Copies of this chain bind each other. A is one copy, B any other.
Amino acid sequence: MSLPQAAARYLQVKDFILERIAGGSLRAGERVPSENELTRTLTVSRMTANRALRELAADGVLVRVAGVGTFVAEQRVHAHPLEVRNIADEIRARGHEYRVKVLALDSVSASRELAERCGVKPGAQLDYSLLTHFEDAAPLQVEERYVNPQVAPGYLRNDFSRTTPHEFLIRVAPLQRAEHIVRALVPERRIRRLLRLEAGEACLLIMRRTFSHGRIASVADLYHPGSRYELAASCQPR
């Protein structure tokens, strides 16, 4: 272990653009520097600038038009898409009492696997929380969450008895996109005990990644008791 390896240059170029978008000096629809301009101002080859812009375009952060230029994509920022809901609101909407128990709250160093999921470099600091959300007396969700402090700073300073992680995140990091993977499993013992499940009971795991400013703001594993929770979705074909 020594000198922190300098990040790849194409990653530096991506960060250069992303920081300008996050900082507000590049707004949706505005033009970003062309490959040739980046070549000059950042002293990289055009191929390197090309790769940075191409990957950002593949991620939906930028839009490129041959012969014209590269522009910041219109990000539809929406406080509350149907699929990403606040569990406290859900519970209260059913007329029940919402309560949360904070089991862990910490800053951790990302393992390689975690770093990959969160889109950061291995070893980067991430805010970590482990909460159980209760509906009346029964646990309804175990939420294990990692937050990128670069994208959503101040996560650990929250009082989660008053603000849910979800509320904090939509305030600090406007939600651009969310990815979900849903899985059914019989959980390990730790989760089973937190959800107070019988041995052999199934649980529903929702793995969620939320994006803000083209970067991953937060990664969460949400465990629900299979017997008391279901996911509803309604869709209309376009």
Hey, which bits of chain A sit against chain B, CB under 8 A?
58, 76-78, 80-84, 175-186, 200-205, 224, 226-227, 229-238
Contact = CB atoms under 8 A, between A and B. Distances in A.
Given A83-B235, A177-B234, A186-B186, 17 more contacts: A58-B58, A78-B237, A84-B235, A177-B235, A177-B236, A178-B234, A178-B235, A178-B236, A179-B232, A181-B233, A183-B184, A184-B185, A184-B205, A185-B226, A186-B201, A200-B200, A202-B202
A179 B76 contact: no
Q: How many copies does the complex hold?
A: 2
A200 B186 contact: yes
Contacts of A83: 82, 233, 235, 237
Nearest to A203: B184
Top 8 closest pairs, chain A to chain B, by CB: A78-B237, A184-B184, A184-B226, A81-B237, A184-B204, A182-B231, A202-B202, A184-B202
Contacts of A178: 234-237
A238 B76 contact: yes
A45 to B, nearest CB: 12
